[in-house]
Chains A and B, each alone.
Chain A
Amino acid sequence: MSDDVSRGAAPQGGASHDGASQDSAPQPKGAQAGKGLTRRALFKGAGAAAAAGAVFQQLDALAKDAVPQAPRSQGPGKTKITLEVNGTKRTVAAEPRETLLQVLRLPLDLTGAKPVCDRGQCGACTVWLDDTPVYACTILGVEAEGRKVTTVEGLGTPSAMHPVQDEFVEKDALQCGFCTPGMVMSAAWAVKQHGKELTEAQARAACAGNLCRCGTYPHVLSAAVAAAKKGS
């Protein structure tokens, strides 16, 4: 991922910059994060935001479709970041230099994604950002502004597991378990991409960026393929 702060962020309605927290931020209709966004809704949102004095951020959101703009300056102190984590809108205060992994783990206390290498080499912190697996240690928290983040906790819970998590247990695709949350996110993405037809080679490719020290790989592959077969 190479998106920087100045682009990619979806609009925040009129309230993202004044510090309103949790799910209550007023949202212009249609201005949800991601692909469902219409250009019209965007401009409407931008207008409302301008009135609220948060024009730069709104214009950032337009950058893909409209004229390039100067990046909004944030930091060095804490700034408010609103992201949709596991289906819930959450607002946290974090420094712009803090990674998405830090934001998820500390203020949000979602400790499933693990800090291991801190530089995008091991995959233990893999989460989905707008439905694409990313290393949360190589994304800044502010880059995730307004975007959809899915962590291993959002995929399933011990009493209601995602089929991939279920098969990880059945096939014993985990030992110490420290790489497991990242591995699950990569394997689940492969299942999502390829459906029932998922091949072992495709599962391998999807998990190629996830290191495991205990040596769970053979069972990870059988778990991914079994989960795909069951349909998920």
Chain B
Amino acid sequence: MPRRVTYEVGLIGHEEAKQGVEGTEQSLTVEVEDGDATPWARDTKFAYVGTDVTRLDGAVKATGAAKYTYDIQPQGLCFAGLVYAPHAHADVVSVDVAAAKALPGVLAVRSFAAATATYPGKIVAAVCAESETVLSDALAAVRVVYAVKPGPAVTEDAMRAGAPVVDPRRQTNVSGPRRGPTMRGKPDDALAAADVAVSATYRTPVQTHSCLEPHGCMCHVHEDGTATVWASTQATAFFANGRFTRALGVPRNKVRVITHHMGGGFGSKFSADEWDVLCAEFAQETKRPVRMLLDRRMEHLVGGNRPDSIQEMALAGTKDGIFQVLKGQTWGTSGNSSGGGAGAANFMVYDLPNLSMTQHGVATFSAKGRAFRAPRHPQGFFALESIIDAYAYKAGIDALAVRMKNDKHPIRQAQWRIGAERIGWTKHRHAVPGSDKGTIKRGTGCAAGRWAQAGRHMVGRSPLVFEFVVDKDGGVAVQNAVQDIGTGTRTLIAVLAAEELGLKPHDIDVRIGDTRYPPGPGSGGSTTAPSIGAAVRNGALRVKESLGGLLALQWGVDEAQLTWKGAVCHGPGDEKATFAKACALLGEDGLRVRGSRRRNFDAAYRETAGCQFARVAVDTETGVIEVEKVVAVHDCGVIVDSLTARSQVNGGVIQGISYALFEEKRTDRSLGDMVNPTFDTYRIMGIEDCPEIDVVLTSVVSGYSNTGMMGLGEPATVPTAGAVANAVYNAIGVQVTELPMTPARVLEALERRQK
């Protein structure tokens, strides 16, 4: 029988910021299923939750002892590599692999002639060799003849009438809007009638994921008919798909996937890719361990990218700053898929009585886009938050005041106050943009962010369960196949288990990243933490119940009379036993129990809120932007480990600045190839460009689950580009409407202003 629980939810602490803001604290009644722990409330006292806990795997990572897929090198390891098309659009006329095959040390070769490449990076041949040097010789010996065809690889070229089409069944590369425009009210009438209206076109680049560890795996088909696969993946549970296991020639139940550590995914590594399937084929054919990891160029070409965007935006409202209407048309390419594109998920933050968003995908002759940290958000929020500043200047109202007037999220209301205080908004924000004297001009800007993922209770079609293994000596291990992609998942599990059992986080043995354990969720959508958290709690609860049963038996009391305070169990009289003492009652075979994630409650806070403030200095002679400070205020439901949470926010901000200032996939418009597939030409932000980042975590009991957790990885990168762009606008008095805001684009904008 589910039980009704009424408890206090909402923002923990931050009393000053909460003053006078309606809805930052609430009372919530939820239906709690049997076996689900009683939810943590706003006033729950914690031993570890919400504190700084160092990573469980910190020491192995800092000393190089952590083994990544790229580091797994069993005896007899073989090396596989790829030959791929350098053209956006070409028929593969012939692939001559004879010379490669003839090289001593080459074990297996595949070739794919008679195919058509519709993106640079299309695989045309693959080689498996005994050493890396033989492999490079063999790849160089493959001769490919291409018949190159015209193929626009840039969005605007692909949109032109008469442009060659990627999908021959279609008339045009432009598709959508898939579900029609998003419409509300009467946008055109509202636009015509409004006091203040602004419009502009914003552009964002294709951004590559640039994971440091490339995509790929190491496959080993064993003599006993089983296989072990080490994969750099965000989803051990889903990696070994049908195509992949067929290539291995091993039934799925005999394939073990391991991801103990992985070097970055950001949304681009969810299942076995084409190259993984080839690696599996080679492993099957050679019966030796085979490793295939993409080279850096291939990583940029096909390892994933965030679609670009062209966003025509119009915003209008009253002269005192109340939004009446947002109208947008967007185009973006998700590569050679006919759908996709860059829908901007930016119209959910502010109240917009009238709305029209029409979003188009544009197919181009380039590799498919992949989910990238907060898909659709950074591009959409850059445009939305930019046009809000344009509106605010035109209406003559402070841009922060405008946002606060139109934003109804209670948590974000409090966050705006916190951020404004910490950046020194009233002191540093220029009422008149570009009003600094001198060459170096400073400016301050802000932007909102949001995310709405509360976690899942299923992994595919299986319930999400965590297994607890407890031994007679009081040792606790927690098992699930979920992987830690660098977010701190391993540590978070330990904190939650330790909190519930009254132990220390570093004493918990967290066994994850291995499909021998119960299936874990894919690490995507910032859902991992909120999915697993409540299951870990429930597993720990099962441990206590089992130990309680033994204690009750020993004390001759009823189980219902027992209470746990931290790691000590109390009976109705003066009976008490520590966790260790209770464990001593176990047999030599210990205890093995499972806790499962239950359905989400009807939550009080359905979205995480966030906002960021940036201060920049712009050199108006060189066009160089220096971000001096960012204040990032974020909630992720209940914060479990504030140390790794701050790292996550730092990461979101840094990727956001990198997107705002540096990153851009550059394409040769006639040949269609990426011209900057290296880290010196495709710039990602370095430490010298890193500003002071002031992270403020606002822990919110969301009411979604027994922990109240939500995700953080993605929301932290949503507002950054918008905040930096608005700071630049405030500094130089003119908007840079295209990312990245390179010196050239800044100087162009300044020139526009002078005219």
| B687 and A214 contact, CB distance less than 8 A | no
**A122-B212, A213-B684, A219-B650 given; A178·B263 CB < 8 A:** yes
Is A133's beta carbon under 8 Å from chain B?
no
For the complex, what is the distance from the CA of A175 to the CA of B55, rounded to whole Å? 9
Tell me, rounded to whole Å, the shortest Cβ–Cβ distance linking A184 to chain B.
6
| B132 and A106 contact, CB distance less than 8 A | yes
Tell me, rounded to whole Å, the shortest Cβ–Cβ distance linking A102 to chain B.
6
| A176 and B65 contact, CB distance less than 8 A | no
**A172-B646, A174-B61, A178-B263 given; A114·B213 CB < 8 A:** yes
Residues of A within 8 A of B668 (CB): none
For the complex, what is the distance from the CA of A219 to the CA of B52, rounded to whole Å? 13
Is A158's beta carbon under 8 Å from chain B?
yes
1/0 contact trace for B365-389 toward A, CB 8 Å? 0000000000000000000000000
**A121-B679, A176-B264 given; A207·B687 CB < 8 A:** yes
For the complex, what is the distance from the CA of A156 to the CA of B212, rounded to whole Å? 23
1/0 contact trace for B132-149 toward A, CB 8 Å? 110000000000000000
Q: Which of A102, A124, A172, A179 has the most CB of B within 10 A?
A: A172
Is A168's beta carbon under 8 Å from chain B?
yes
**A172-B54, A175-B486 given; A214·B59 CB < 8 A:** no
Tell me, rounded to whole Å, the shortest Cβ–Cβ distance linking A2 to chain B.
18
Question: Which chain A residue lies CB-closest to B645?
Answer: A172
**A122-B212, A213-B211, A219-B647 given; A177·B61 CB < 8 A:** yes
| B62 and A218 contact, CB distance less than 8 A | no
For the complex, what is the distance from the CA of A95 to the CA of B266, rounded to whole Å? 36
Is A10's beta carbon under 8 Å from chain B?
no
| B58 and A174 contact, CB distance less than 8 A | yes
| B64 and A204 contact, CB distance less than 8 A | no
Mark out the residues of chain A between 102 and 138 whose CB falls within 8 Å of any chain B CB in the assembled complex.
102, 105-106, 109-119, 121-122, 124
The stretch that binds B, out of A35-43, A50-58, A147-155, is A147-155
Interface footprint category on B: 35 or more
1/0 contact trace for A197-211 toward B, CB 8 Å? 000000011011011
| B58 and A169 contact, CB distance less than 8 A | yes
Contact of A215 among B67, B654, B679 (CB under 8 A): B654
| A208 and B688 contact, CB distance less than 8 A | yes
For the complex, what is the distance from the CA of A92 to the CA of B708, rounded to whole Å? 55
**A114-B213, A116-B296 given; A211·B686 CB < 8 A:** yes
1/0 contact trace for B91-102 toward A, CB 8 Å? 000000000000
Residues of A within 8 A of B686 (CB): 208, 210-211, 217
Question: Which chain B residue lies CB-closest to A124?
Answer: B212
Is B544's beta carbon under 8 Å from chain A?
no
**A178-B212, A214-B651, A217-B654 given; A153·B66 CB < 8 A:** no
| B132 and A169 contact, CB distance less than 8 A | no
Question: Which chain A residue lies CB-closest to B641?
Answer: A172
Question: Which chain A residue lies CB-closest to B691?
Answer: A218
**A178-B212, A216-B650 given; A152·B133 CB < 8 A:** no
Is A23's beta carbon under 8 Å from chain B?
no
Question: Which chain A residue lies CB-closest to B684?
Answer: A211
Is A61's beta carbon under 8 Å from chain B?
no
| A215 and B650 contact, CB distance less than 8 A | yes
Residues of B within 8 A of A6 (CB): none
| B64 and A215 contact, CB distance less than 8 A | no
For the complex, what is the distance from the CA of A43 to the CA of B326, rounded to whole Å? 82
For the complex, what is the distance from the CA of A166 to the CA of B59, rounded to whole Å? 7
Is A7's beta carbon under 8 Å from chain B?
no
Residues of A within 8 A of B132 (CB): 98, 102, 106
Contact of A157 among B61, B65, B214 (CB under 8 A): B65
Contact of B133 among A97, A211, A212 (CB under 8 A): A97
Residues of A within 8 A of B261 (CB): 176-177
1/0 contact trace for A178-190 toward B, CB 8 Å? 1111001000000
| B486 and A169 contact, CB distance less than 8 A | no
Residues of A within 8 A of B678 (CB): 117, 119, 121
| B687 and A165 contact, CB distance less than 8 A | no
Is A46's beta carbon under 8 Å from chain B?
no
Is B33's beta carbon under 8 Å from chain A?
no
Is A20's beta carbon under 8 Å from chain B?
no
| A161 and B62 contact, CB distance less than 8 A | yes
Is A191's beta carbon under 8 Å from chain B?
no
| B68 and A151 contact, CB distance less than 8 A | no
Residues of B within 8 A of A215 (CB): 647, 650-655
For the complex, what is the distance from the CA of A153 to the CA of B61, rounded to whole Å? 10
Residues of A within 8 A of B54 (CB): 169-170, 172
Residues of A within 8 A of B62 (CB): 152, 156, 161, 165-166, 168-169, 173-174, 177, 180, 184
**A117-B296, A122-B212, A213-B684 given; A172·B643 CB < 8 A:** yes
Tell me, rounded to whole Å, the shortest Cβ–Cβ distance linking A75 to chain B.
10
Tell me, rounded to whole Å, the shortest Cβ–Cβ distance linking A51 to chain B.
33
| A118 and B61 contact, CB distance less than 8 A | no
Contact of B64 among A95, A97, A181, A214 (CB under 8 A): A181
For the complex, what is the distance from the CA of A217 to the CA of B650, rounded to whole Å? 8
Question: Which chain A residue lies CB-closest to B652?
Answer: A215
Residues of A within 8 A of B211 (CB): 213
Residues of B within 8 A of A124 (CB): 212
Mark out the residues of chain A between 17 and 75 whose CB falls within 8 Å of any chain B CB in the assembled complex.
none
For the complex, what is the distance from the CA of A2 to the CA of B646, rounded to whole Å? 40
Is B487's beta carbon under 8 Å from chain A?
yes
**A97-B133, A106-B73, A116-B296 given; A178·B213 CB < 8 A:** yes
| B70 and A211 contact, CB distance less than 8 A | no
Q: Which of A166, A178, A217 has the most CB of B within 10 A?
A: A178
For the complex, what is the distance from the CA of A176 to the CA of B487, rounded to whole Å? 7
For the complex, what is the distance from the CA of A16 to the CA of B309, rounded to whole Å? 60
Contact of B651 among A106, A115, A175 (CB under 8 A): A175
| A172 and B64 contact, CB distance less than 8 A | no
| B679 and A122 contact, CB distance less than 8 A | yes
Residues of A within 8 A of B651 (CB): 175, 214-216
For the complex, what is the distance from the CA of A25 to the CA of B20, rounded to whole Å? 78
Is B158's beta carbon under 8 Å from chain A?
no
Tell me, rounded to whole Å, the shortest Cβ–Cβ distance linking B665 to chain A.
15
For the complex, what is the distance from the CA of A115 to the CA of B651, rounded to whole Å? 22
For the complex, what is the distance from the CA of A93 to the CA of B280, rounded to whole Å? 29
Residues of A within 8 A of B262 (CB): 176
| B64 and A151 contact, CB distance less than 8 A | yes
| B64 and A112 contact, CB distance less than 8 A | yes
Tell me, rounded to whole Å, the shortest Cβ–Cβ distance linking B712 to chain A.
12
Q: Which of A105, A166, A217 has the most CB of B within 10 A?
A: A217
Residues of B within 8 A of A142 (CB): none
For the complex, what is the distance from the CA of A204 to the CA of B688, rounded to whole Å? 6
| A169 and B687 contact, CB distance less than 8 A | no
**A95-B133, A111-B70 given; A216·B647 CB < 8 A:** yes
Contact of B61 among A119, A180, A218 (CB under 8 A): A180
Is A220's beta carbon under 8 Å from chain B?
yes
| B486 and A214 contact, CB distance less than 8 A | yes
For the complex, what is the distance from the CA of A179 to the CA of B213, rounded to whole Å? 9
**A117-B678, A178-B213, A215-B652 given; A221·B296 CB < 8 A:** no
| B212 and A116 contact, CB distance less than 8 A | yes
Tell me, rounded to whole Å, the shortest Cβ–Cβ distance linking B576 to chain A.
35
Interface pairs (8), CB distance under 8 Å:
A116-B214, A152-B62, A173-B62, A175-B647, A211-B684, A214-B647, A219-B646, A221-B687
Smallest CB-CB A-B distances: 3 pairs: A112-B64, A176-B486, A178-B263
In the complex, besides A152-B62, A210-B686, A215-B652, 15 extra interface pairs with C-beta distance below 8 angstroms are A95-B133, A105-B71, A111-B70, A114-B68, A116-B212, A116-B296, A174-B55, A176-B212, A177-B68, A180-B61, A204-B690, A208-B688, A213-B211, A214-B486, A219-B647
